[in-house]
Amino acid sequence: MSAAWPQVGAIARRSLVRTARQPALVIPPLVFPVALMAVNAAGLDSSTDLPGFPTDSFLAFALAVPFIQGALFSTMNAGSELARDVQTGFVNRLALTALRDWALLSGQLAGVVALGVVQALFYLAVGVAAGVEFESGPAGVVVLLVFSALVALSFGLLGAFLAYRTGSGETIQALFPVLFVFLFISSMNAPRDLIGIDWFRIAATLNPVSYMIECVRSLIIEGWDAQALALGFGSVLVLGLVSLPLASRALRTRMTRT
């Protein structure tokens, strides 16, 4: 087991180095979610006048979205990177070493999680710079970072599963709009109980992304909301627990060796 940790570190380092050397993988996940948040905050600010809206700052309300949107970006990027390794034969190179399957998966995910935390710190800094106050205080920021790491991990596992299952970067990219549908049909722009259209409200209620956004949102605008935290962490853990065996099996199949 101890011999595997340097392997995890080496794979994680490669993942980070590759990402750092491709500005196209770093900048869009930082800039686009923040830009979308700024546009939404400007256009939907009057929503805060609705009776029952939980805050008078739409920016504080919308700040939760980049955390999840950024995770979706990095999931797709990580998935595409892994698929590329399959396509180029780099996975065969790795398979010929003493690398353990779980060490490869862990290393790749460590890189994704590290990037996810960096993104979360950036969104956090943008929010603070824009005057958003954290109702849950410094401890809430720590919980938010832990949650962001878990979101990156769970979505990273999903990306790894898709990458190893399909072995095609193009397929992964084609799934990007599907994940965005989950984001848009959620409570990203309005609290669920204020969504007037029935089917939209039902879809948002069934959509686990809503609970992830509401978990982050609760820490920012409400303080400590046990139910929102439980649903958010629960959704992420379920996604992770479902994706983990799928990703592991897909990796084993892909990294064929006797």
Residues that bind other proteins (CB under 8 A): 3, 6-7, 9-11, 13-14, 17-18, 21-22, 88-90, 92-99, 256-258
- Residue whose CB is less far from other proteins, 46 or 256: 256
In the chain, the N- to C-terminal Cα span, in Å, equals 20
Show the DSSP H helices in 44-95 as ranges.
Answer: 58-62, 64-88, 90-95
Spatial CA neighbour of 67 closest among 174, 136, 147, 137: 147
Instruction: Using the minimum distance from each CB to other proteins, give the nearer residue, 100 or 192.
Output: 100
- Compute the least distance from the CB of residue 91 to other proteins, in Å: 8
- The nearer residue to other proteins, 76 or 239, going by C-beta atoms, is 76
**Residue whose structure tokens are 């898709």:** 162
Q: How far is the CB of 77 from other proteins (least distance, A)?
A: 13
Rounded CA-CA distance 8/102 in Å is 9
Nearest distance, CB of residue 206 and other proteins, angstroms: 40
Q: Which is nearer to other proteins, 93 or 249 (CB)?
A: 93
Cα(185)–Cα(188) distance, integer angstroms = 8
d(CA 73, CA 85): 19
| Closest distance to other proteins from the beta carbon of 88 (Å) | 5
